[in-house]
Structure 1
Amino acid sequence: MKRRSLMMGMAAAAGAAAVGSTVRPGFAQADGLPSWNDGPVKRSILDFIARTTTPGGPDWIPVPERIACFDNDGTLWTEQPIYVQIAFAVDRVKAMAPQHPEWRTQEPFRSVLADDRAALAALGEKGFLQIIAATHTGLTTEAFAKAVTDWLATARHPRFNRPYTDLVYQPMLELLALLRAHQFKTFIVSGGGIDFMRPWTERVYGIPPEQVVGSSGMTRYELRPDGTPVLLKEPRIQFIDDGPGKPEGINQFIGRRPVFAFGNSDGDQQMLEWTAAGSGARFMGLVHHTDAVREYAYDRPSLVGQLDKAWDEALRRHWTLVDMKNDWKVIYPFELR
């Protein structure tokens, strides 16, 4: 990148994020966000962390209450041109198509097999759930986790021609590491599938599977003839962790209201509202995708990651809006190499 010291600081922060290691508080305060441009957004984050972790201060938050929740798609990694989990499901539809000739004329599978990305983006929740039901069920949880990790090892983003896990946001890796260095517990709270995320989030973000909250399907316990117990994924929805489902999921699976929350779309509005409704110091942030050159630029009219009502709410409530183009020096870790 530009200066050796910046590269070293970024690499250190990314490493801390990847393994969840502890950074000395003094260092983290000064250098923990090296890929964020100096300005009001970066200062607001550093100020919140300093205020809430200073013993004896008026905004001090006890360690057990330092809960930070992050959306995944569009907040921690790139979600355009289609959600990564849909890309995974699309590839599984293509692999399974020879056993399902009816899919060539049956939606949403017809659009998948025709590589009609515009139609895929417009399918909505119903179409997405149909694809998920067809491609994510009938497997044991272990077999599904292997399918996810195998796919991530070979699949490439259509624009960047890189593994999807290369397209995580360097500034957010640094933020995760900085929060953990100050004894915040970081969670993913995403509309994406919990079984899709859990196999890789610890390696990529330093967030272990038990700290991932997501949409989930039903599983069924089965004892195989050889005496091996397995959990089978079934084509029934258990929980949708999006919109109002996010605070419901936080309450059900975390049990504490966050004091820090970050999202990027209308699906995150209720999570940020729930966070803001607590007492004491709170931080609510939204990533605004404004950089068409380095990533993508989209907000209100987007079919993927629409930021419309939540944007209005953020302006009204004075939540922090991250302007990707102006607030981030780099987008991806590979820019440092």
Structure 2
Amino acid sequence: MLNFVRVFLVVLLLPLAALADDLPSWNDGASKQAIVDFVSKVTDEKNADFVKPEDRIAVFDNDGTLWSEQPFYFQLGFMLDRVKALAPDHPEWKENEPFKSILAGDLKGMAASGEKGVVELGMATHAGMTTDAFAKIVSDWFSASKHPKTGKPYNEMTFLPMRELLDYLRANGFQTYIVSGGGIEFMRPVTEQAYGIPPEQVIGSSIATEYALVDGEPVLNRLPKIDFVDDGPGKPVGINKFIGRRPIFVAGNSDGDYEMLRWVTGGKPKSFGLIVHHTDAVREYAYDRESHFGKLDKAMDEAAQRKWLLVDMKNDWKKIYAFETP
């Protein structure tokens, strides 16, 4: 009798399992269906578009694709806080840009220092310590700092629909990587908890490091020198260098992802390109062509031509953040 009950329950629950929604925070519609159709084709051995598991590689930009990037990149927020924390040891910063403007709360003045100022800011806040020390500083910052719009910790500002997409792809045999212009060692301390992506599957911009012995103990010191910029054309280079296979799925949100989108979807017919379009000014932010952070212009113009899926955040996502009230 017990076996009969078990069989009965299995048969009864099968239809419910078949109806289970792998992307519950996505509204039913063309965008969601396009993703499901692609995954179904490349994982079905009987389909002409079947892709072997070892070739099911998906790459995702981070800022603006997996977590928010407005009103500024999270890493820039980290730099601003680090300047304030380190300022007592650097009295010269009161007179030198971009530090002078930062300490005065003048972000426009900081921006006026241009790329040179950003590089100087990055070296001052990211170098001169061991890799272990930097990882702890980053982890502590994520635990304590709050996003200026929501008041939530930065590491809770991840997009729930994209986290579901990562889980859905992995459940179907995909390996998921982050390929971001952000600092690799800024992201690595938090990506496994935030997205289920381990440190070894994170590719990003980096500064030089060197091996040293300190009091007889081996360490890696972070140097004030740029090693690799993983943005724009650097993204395909980084994928080739660190992964060694051309992905079949790519997701981004800005023109900084344009070359990555082109390279991934241009190399194989069995590929999928996705662009997150920020269209929700109420729940998140609405921006594209004129934004200083996450500018989306050229990639959006070519999306239809290149068959990239342009995801409308306002209309395609039921929820943006996990903490949203339904």
Range into which the TM-score falls when normalised by the shorter chain: over 0.9
Q: Cα offset for 1:236?
A: 0.5
Q: Cα offset for 1:129?
A: 1.7
Alignment match, 1:190: 180
CA gap of 1:56–1:120, structure 2 versus 1, over 3 A, is farther
- Distance in structure 2 (CA, Å) of the matches to 1:56 and 1:242: 38
State the SS of the aligned residue for 1:74: coil
Report the AA paired with residue 185 of structure 1: Q
Q: Does 1:288 find its partner at 2:280?
A: no
Q: Does 1:101 find its partner at 2:75?
A: no
- Distance in structure 2 (CA, Å) of the matches to 1:281 and 1:158: 41
Alignment match, 2:11: none
CA gap of 1:27–1:75, structure 2 versus 1, over 3 A, is farther
CA gap of 1:121–1:66, structure 2 versus 1, over 3 A, is farther
Q: Does 1:271 find its partner at 2:229?
A: no
Alignment match, 1:9: none
Q: Does 1:158 find its partner at 2:158?
A: no
From 217, 220, 224, the counterpart of 2:207: 217
CA gap of 1:195–1:308, structure 2 versus 1, over 3 A, is same
CA gap of 1:119–1:301, structure 2 versus 1, over 3 A, is farther
Alignment match, 1:244: 233
- Distance in structure 2 (CA, Å) of the matches to 1:282 and 1:300: 26
- Distance in structure 1 (CA, Å) of the matches to 2:146 and 2:236: 33
From 249, 256, 276, the counterpart of 2:245: 256
CA gap of 1:329–1:303, structure 2 versus 1, over 3 A, is same
- Distance in structure 1 (CA, Å) of the matches to 2:113 and 2:74: 15
State the SS of the aligned residue for 2:310: strand
From 304, 317, 320, the counterpart of 2:309: 320
Contact 2:185 2:206 in 1 (8 A): yes
Contact 1:121 1:303 in 2 (8 A): no
Q: Cα offset for 1:27?
A: 5.2
State the SS of the aligned residue for 2:176: strand
State the SS of the aligned residue for 2:323: helix
State the SS of the aligned residue for 2:324: helix
- Distance in structure 2 (CA, Å) of the matches to 1:200 and 1:125: 27
Root-mean-square deviation over aligned CA pairs: 1.7
Report the AA paired with residue 316 of structure 1: Q
CA gap of 1:323–1:121, structure 2 versus 1, over 3 A, is farther
* Identity fraction in percent: 59
1:1-337 aligned at under 5 Å gives the runs 30-120=20-110, 124-225=114-215, 227-335=216-324
Contact 1:29 1:46 in 2 (8 A): no
Question: 1:22-60 CA distances to partner (integer Å, 9 max, x unpaired)?
Answer: xx9x95984110110111110000000000000121000
Q: Cα offset for 1:124?
A: 4.7
CA gap of 1:292–1:29, structure 2 versus 1, over 3 A, is same
- Distance in structure 2 (CA, Å) of the matches to 1:148 and 1:269: 29
Contact 1:68 1:184 in 2 (8 A): yes
- Distance in structure 1 (CA, Å) of the matches to 2:69 and 2:95: 28
- Distance in structure 2 (CA, Å) of the matches to 1:232 and 1:163: 29
Report the AA paired with residue 238 of structure 1: D
Indicate the structure whose relative CO is greater, using CA pairs within 8 Å and at least 6 residues apart: 1
Q: Cα offset for 1:103?
A: 1.4
TM-score (norm. length: structure 2): 0.92
CA gap of 1:120–1:28, structure 2 versus 1, over 3 A, is farther
CA gap of 1:178–1:162, structure 2 versus 1, over 3 A, is same
Q: Cα offset for 1:123?
A: 5.3
